[in-house]
Amino acid sequence: MTGRQYFYRLHPIDVAESKLFLPELALEERLRRLLASGGFPEAFLNPDEAARLRNDRMEIVTREDLRDLSRVTSWHGPADLIELLRERVGKPTNYDNLAQSLGISPPTAKSWVELLEKLYVVFLLPPYSSSLSRSIRKDRRVFFYDCAAAYDEAGGAQLENLVACSLLKYTQFRKDAAGENWELYYLRDKEGREVDFVVTRNRRMQWLIEVKTSHGAIGGALPYYAQKLRPKDSLQLVLDLERAQEKSGIKIVPLAKWLEALPFESGMR
């Protein structure tokens, strides 16, 4: 029956889709709500209930779903793991550290994280390594499908998580709807130079993306890798930015406006 059925992956509400749910709200208000409540529909539409709904969802995952899919006999360990991961959003997954904190073995910590992946609680972003002989190839960075799940008083991790969710949704949509080979990575080399996101299309680099809460100097290693890798676009997405500008070939753009336009593009920008 090959070719007679197609699979589409469903994701939580993102910035663009939020307009369909709350057209009366301004773009900035919808973005702030996503950062506060996450993109699961019931929480997004009832932000005062978002924390309770999140806790209920995590409890169902740890008490029931993990038990059904694995030999985990106690839900306390996986529940503690989720709490630890909420403190590590956007950071590499170090299974040795997780295991030490939980009092389990590193292979067990890894298997629990993989189960959370299968249950669509978290997704792990691999490092980009093509043409970079000195890149770090093993550690993947953890993000939640619930973009407001991070414990993050400053707001930077939640903002990065929101962008990660939007980019993952877009790349998977392009695969599912058009058969295009889009992939999402992060970039960090052994010298510590890093860029938040790398997006490729058919193995060619489309976007280098750095995420900032406020406008300042061009972020970190973005100019270095923009020169070295020559992507189609090098972008600094800024939460609080009045107008777009360009410096040394790097486009500095309002984060919300760029994300709102993203899913409705044809794939070429």
* pTM, full prediction: 0.91
pLDDT above 70 coverage of the chain, percent: 90
- What whole-number distance in Å separates Cα of residue 184 and Cα of residue 205? 10
Average pLDDT over residues 76-82: 87
Nearest to 147 by CA among 18, 247, 251: 18
Q: Does some domain include residue 29?
A: yes
Report the distance separating Cα 34 and Cα 255, nearest Å. Answer: 13
Asked if the structure places residue 37 within a domain, the reply is: yes
Assess if residue 202 is contained within a domain.
Answer: yes
- Tell me the pLDDT band of 78, cut-offs 50, 70 and 90: confident
As a residue count, the chain comes to: 269
CB 31 within 8 A of CB 44: no
pLDDT at 3: 57
5 lies in some domain: no
Show the domain range for 235.
Answer: 15-264
User: pLDDT: is 79 or 269 the higher one?
Assistant: 79
> Beta-carbon neighbour count of residue 97 at 10 Å?
14
Higher pLDDT, 208 or 190: 208
In a domain, 103, yes or no: yes
Question: Is residue 39 domain-resident?
Answer: yes
- Which whole number is the average pLDDT over 253-269? 73
HEC string of the chain?
CCCCCCCCCCCCCCHHHHHHHCCCCCHHHHHHHHHHHCCCHHHHHCHHHHHHHHHHHHHHHHHHHHHHHCCCCCCHHHHHHHHHHHCCCCCECCHHHHHHHHCCCHHHHHHHHHHHHHCCCEEEECECCCCCCCECCCCCEEEECCCCCCCCCCCHHHHHHHHHHHHHHHHHHHHHHHCCCEEEEEEEECCCCEEEEEEEECCEEEEEEEEEEECCCCCCCHHHHHHHHCCCEEEEEEEECCCCEEECCEEEEEHHHHHHHHHHCCCCC
Q: How many domains does the chain have?
A: 1
Task: Judge whether 10 lies within some domain.
Answer: no
pLDDT score, position 263: 56
**Token output for 168:** 């993952």
- Give the pLDDT of residue 136: 52
The residue-averaged pLDDT of 248-266 equals: 84
For position 41, what pLDDT does the model report?
A: 96
Residue 133 falls inside a structural domain: yes
Tens of pLDDT, residue by residue over 89-144, are: 999 999 999 999 999 999 999 999 999 999 999 999 999 987 655 555 568 999 99
pLDDT band at residue 267 using 50, 70 and 90 as cut-offs: very low
Q: Taking CA 234 as the corner, what is the angle to CA 160 and CA 229, rounded to the nearest 5 degrees? A: 110
Q: Can you give the pLDDT at residue 266?
A: 42
Q: Residue 8: exposed, middle, or buried by beta-carbon count in 10 A (0-12, 13-18, 19+)?
A: exposed
- Mean pLDDT score across all residues of the chain: 88
pLDDT 10s digits, 22-52? 999 999 999 999 999 999 999 999 999 999 9
pLDDT at 178: 84
Answer yes or no: is pLDDT of 253 > 70: yes
Quote the pLDDT of residue 268.
38
Output the six-digit token pair for 217: 């100097």
Higher pLDDT, 63 or 164: 164
pLDDT higher than 50, residue 269: no
At residue 168 the predicted structure's pLDDT band, cuts being 50, 70 and 90, is very high
